[in-house]
Chains A and B, each alone.
Chain A
């Protein structure tokens, strides 16, 4: 899933400053799971913004809140159409994709980001999320025992550990496991160390050029907006 963090209150207040009626828009998928922008967080943010506004006595904003099932899909945004007509801006607590899909769907209204989208990852334990995939478009996990060096090695190198690893940790962050030590140990356990001895050539950054698009190979109907 996509993992994000809510932006600091000051920054949120700064970006919404020019707008009187602001819709706080949550997302019911990844942002709900990672606790950055689901229904609960939208409600907390609404209260926090009201309190901050009352304290600073510059009470010009009028907040409303709503959460859709998924912001990154046009079909879940139709229910927003009426609400959008009644506000001056949308503060989206969706990920960077959500913000852009909402903006694309409603071209006449400013859509502002309320979270910093951080990475794709997993919940390591409650309240702790770890990055796991860089969406590089060229998955090599079969060769690295299911542990991604592109994501989990700070340098994303492909031919084994650098010399900076100490006590199994990374030179960039002593709390972070060295991905290549993990890969070595797991390959050894699986009796696949020959995969470590192989030479891996430089990555192909053009696997899918940016911005990336995937078109389903079969049963695809050309749409007006699909280019």
Chain B
């Protein structure tokens, strides 16, 4: 039996669509709630990011509770950057107790790329160890081997970087994540479908679902900025050129067009099992992308 609606969909043959919401910097959640309402019926699940790029924000768990409240299907993102193993296990228990069972297990960005550069980086666990920890908790024990009263069950995901410029070690880690218990993968942004094709030749031997990460770019400048400053993003020159060749003010429209084209190709050519749309600050346009695709 599936642990969540999303897991049920993972187990079916349908094309999966997820997206993500970045919580606000501050306690005003009205815009996030607006985005949740806009997206919850158009996608299979909504990720809520966990201090994305190490910038302090409203927490993922809080955002997931709001997704639940509004009738959506949340995927909590848990990174190892800010919490040691006690806090990570506690958050897993809290999430489960509030019916948040889809968990994306991430190592987390370095604090050096964020807005609290003097913070103590924790990284008591890494993403592979976090996946394994969640699976161990499902067997009724915490990491110290103590018995849990009330045993959680999760639908676990992880990330993978098919466009890494040195792919072999990333594939080794991908396989470790599969063995540790990941059921689905939401990839880092894909900007060259050849990379996705090549990755899937390798990844299709494993019984996991791969959702290709689609980042919606709003300008060539944004693309170049992300290449220089955002971990795990390599926007191809072809895409940068395409964005650079549009009239001023039409960048986002072009970005939507590119994202829609990618999704359409992935779906039509059956390149992988679904897409994960990251609109980075433009969450409101996700329905347009889906419509165009």
Contacts and interface: CB of A to CB of B under 8 A. Distances in A.
Chain B binds chain A: yes
Given A159-B128, A197-B175, A171 B109 contact: yes
B179 A181 contact: no
Interface string B76-117: 000001000100000000000000000000011110110000
A7 to B, nearest CB: 19
B143 interface: yes
Interface in A138-185: 154-168, 170-173, 180-181, 184
Contact of A163 (B113, B128, B161, B172): B161
A166 B234 contact: yes
Nearest to A168: B166
A202 B110 contact: no
A39 to B, nearest CB: 35
Contact of A171 (B85, B110, B133, B176): B110
A181 B159 contact: no
Interface residues of A, number: 31
Interface in B159-211: 159-161, 164-166, 168-170, 172-173, 175-176, 179-180, 188
A171 B234 CA distance: 13
A133 interface: no
Contacts of A202: 85, 124-125, 129, 133, 143
Contacts of B180: 199
Contact of B164 (A155, A163, A170, A200): A163
B107 A157 contact: yes
Given A159-B126, A163-B164, A163-B188, A154 B121 contact: yes
Contact of B110 (A155, A159, A197): A155
A201 interface: yes
A164 B228 CA distance: 11
Interface in B112-168: 112-113, 121, 123-129, 132-133, 143, 159-161, 164-166, 168
A157 B234 contact: no
Contacts of B175: 197
B231 interface: yes
Contacts of B128: 159-160, 199
A160 B173 CA distance: 6
Given A163-B170, A197-B172, A197-B176, A157 B112 contact: no
B169 A172 contact: no
Contacts of A193: 172
A159 B176 contact: yes
B123 A156 contact: yes
B109 A164 contact: yes
Nearest to A197: B172
Contact of A160 (B112, B113, B176): B176
B59 interface: no
Given A160-B173, A166-B165, A202-B129, A155 B123 contact: yes
A159 B129 contact: yes
Contacts of A180: 169
B24 interface: no
B232 interface: yes
Contacts of A157: 107, 123, 126-127
Given A160-B172, A171-B113, A203-B124, 11 more contacts: A159-B127, A159-B129, A160-B176, A162-B232, A164-B109, A166-B234, A184-B172, A196-B169, A201-B129, A202-B125, A202-B129
A171 B121 CA distance: 14
B107 A155 contact: yes
A171 B161 CA distance: 14
